[in-house]
Amino acid sequence: MRNRIPSGETNEKYIISGGRKLNGEVRIMSAKNSLLPLIACSVMVNDEVFLSDCERTSDAENMLDIVRGLGGKCHFDNGGICLDCRHINGHKTNAELTGKLRSSVFILGPLLSRMHRADICYPGGCDIGLRPIDLHLTGLSSLGVKFTSEGERIAGECTELKGREVTLPLPSVGATENIIMAATMAEGRTVIRGAAAEPEIIDLQRFINMCGGKVSGAGTGRICVDGVNSLHGCSFAPSGDRIAAGTFMIGCAMCGGDVDIIGVDAAHVVSVTGLLRAAGAEITERIGGVRVKSSGNLRAPGRIETKPYPGFPTDLQAPMTALAASAKGTSYIIENLFENRFRHIPQLLKMGADITVCGRAATVRGRKLHPADLVAEDLRGGAALVLAALSADGTSTVSGLSHIDRGYYKLDERFRALGADIIRM
Ligand code: UD1
């Protein structure tokens, strides 16, 4: 069993009285998907690191616990995360922790670089598909790592890491990041072809280079890493969370209102902007943010197909499905990245949604949704249910909050500040 449900399940639920418009400002914090590899990468830094504007999502907390288990010191302070990995002395991660989040796999590259060995449990995370780690392992093997696996554990060893040419058959974000990290202090040059081009990879490049590494090409399909002997500390500001920003953009479009979303690069959410405009929302882009104005009466955004960046992100497919379910007209959703990412749909059906699924495609015939008792089954699907409940007249509940807590910190408070009626009980 490779994908496990996060433990720490809570009986808490959101009670949401939907139908209120959203107005005001929301400040977006550092991207969770940047932060997690950056925390892992800090294991390679023999110095202090500060990552600014970080939220205490449970994924971030768990990742820090993994680093602590290896001998690193880390804590939240001054709105960010301080890490000191000078005394890392372990190479084996705690099985329960690694089972909690997919991103625990990021520790492989940095540990192999620092300790020349690593012993981890197969990573957990959202149950949105098979989520193999074969590309991580073959990429790291190309740099000289020998892997053995026993039960749920996988161990890697190398005498030294050597720069090589690595070609990824598909642009895996995590595999690209793991290979970059392992190559950072390898001997010689590594070239990654077929690399993923997500903004979070540019963040990783900026961070490593700020620590004295030599990475270039992030944001393109060809990344070049020239190995260096050591990394020094730095204070780093990751980019704003484009998925959190997209969640608020879609929420405002659905509920109606006028929300200024601050701290995200408008270019990072351009695929969301295009769909929301097609649905009838007014979006103003500016440096460092976007503003969404909407009457709440939307038309179907049309065809939505998830793709690697700069295409429409799979992480916003569920929120966009919730929007399509309550907009006027028919939309077609195609999920290309993960085979099990429609788990929010049975929940939306409870609200009266008219959606038929055929394999990786969903046909959504929009209609007015009614309130219901909903259960989040994964992180982004959970956020989609919150948005659907916020926009539907009447009182809904959303349980399964441990999934949502993985990637959104105090989501209820953020929406309450915009005028929503949502409480956590
Ligand atoms: C990252 C994001 C996640 C997002 C996803 C796609 C983080 C922490 N998470 O996940 O939020 O939904 O990118 O944008 O950044 N694959 C393989 N073998 C592998 C690795 C991946 O076949 O070894 C496949 C996956 O099953 C999937 C596709 O590649 O179909 C893309 O996955 P990948 O880009 O690796 O996603 P993650 O890095 O896990």
pLDDT 10s digits, 26-43: 999 999 999 999 999 999
Q: CA–CA separation, 93 vs 44, rounded Å?
A: 15
CA 95 to chain centre: 22
Specify the length of the chain in residues. Answer: 425
Find the residues whose C-beta lies inside 6 A of ligand 1: 33, 36, 102-103, 129-136, 170, 172-175, 196, 200, 313-315, 337-338
Nearest CA to ligand 1 atom 7: 33
Nearest CA to ligand 1 atom 22: 132
* Stretch among 2-6, 81-85, 183-187, 310-314 having the lowest mean pLDDT: 2-6
> What per-residue confidence (pLDDT) applies to 96?
83
Which CATH entry fits the domain spanning 32-236: 3.65.10.10, 3.30.70.1230, 1.10.10.10, 3.20.20.210? 3.65.10.10
What's the pTM value of the predicted model, to 2 decimals? 0.96
- DSSP label of 112: H
Q: 224 an active-site residue?
A: no
Work out the mean pLDDT of the chain and round it to a whole number. Answer: 94
pLDDT 10s digits, 340-372: 899 999 999 999 999 999 999 999 999 999 999
Model confidence at 339, pLDDT cuts 50, 70, 90, reads confident
Q: Where along the chain do the CATH 3.65.10.10 domains lie?
A: 13-28+240-424, 32-236
> What per-residue confidence (pLDDT) applies to 132?
87
pLDDT 10s digits, 274-328: 999 999 999 999 999 999 999 999 999 999 999 999 999 999 999 999 999 999 9
Q: CA–CA separation, 128 vs 337, rounded Å?
A: 10
Residue labelled with tokens 């005394």: 87
Tell me the mean pLDDT in the region 53-80: 95
pLDDT 10s digits, 2-17: 333 444 567 899 999 9
Q: CA–CA separation, 159 vs 145, rounded Å?
A: 8
The number of the ligand 1 atom at minimal distance from the alpha carbon of 196 is 34
Tokens representing residue 226 in the block: 């020239």
List b or e across 283-310, with b for residues whose CB sees 16 or more CB atoms inside 10 angstroms: beeeeebbbbbbebebebbeebebebbe
Instruction: Give the contacts of 297 (CB within 8 A, at least 6 positions apart).
Output: 256, 280, 328
Model confidence at 56, pLDDT cuts 50, 70, 90, reads very high
Q: Is pLDDT of 94 > 90?
A: no
Burial class (CB in 10 A: 0-12, 13-18, 19+), 91: buried
296, 391 in Cβ contact below 8 A? yes
The number of the ligand 1 atom at minimal distance from the alpha carbon of 37 is 8
Model confidence at 130, pLDDT cuts 50, 70, 90, reads low
**CATH superfamily, with its number, for domain 13-28+240-424:** Enolpyruvate transferase domain (3.65.10.10)
Tell me the mean pLDDT in the region 150-172: 94
Model confidence at 125, pLDDT cuts 50, 70, 90, reads low
> What per-residue confidence (pLDDT) applies to 5?
40
Distances (CA, A) of 201 to 26, 30, 347: 25, 14, 33
Instruction: Give the contacts of 404 (CB within 8 A, at least 6 positions apart).
Output: 376, 379, 382, 383, 386, 398, 411
> What per-residue confidence (pLDDT) applies to 3?
38
Percent of the chain with pLDDT over 90: 89
> What per-residue confidence (pLDDT) applies to 78?
87
Tell me the mean pLDDT in the region 242-271: 98
Tell me the mean pLDDT in the region 151-177: 95
Closest CA to 12 of 296, 376, 320, 383: 376
Q: Is pLDDT of 173 > 90?
A: yes
The active-site residue out of 126, 158, 224, 252 is: 126
Distance of CA 174 from the midpoint of ligand 1 (Å): 6
pLDDT 10s digits, 397-411: 999 999 999 999 999
Q: Is pLDDT of 99 > 90?
A: no
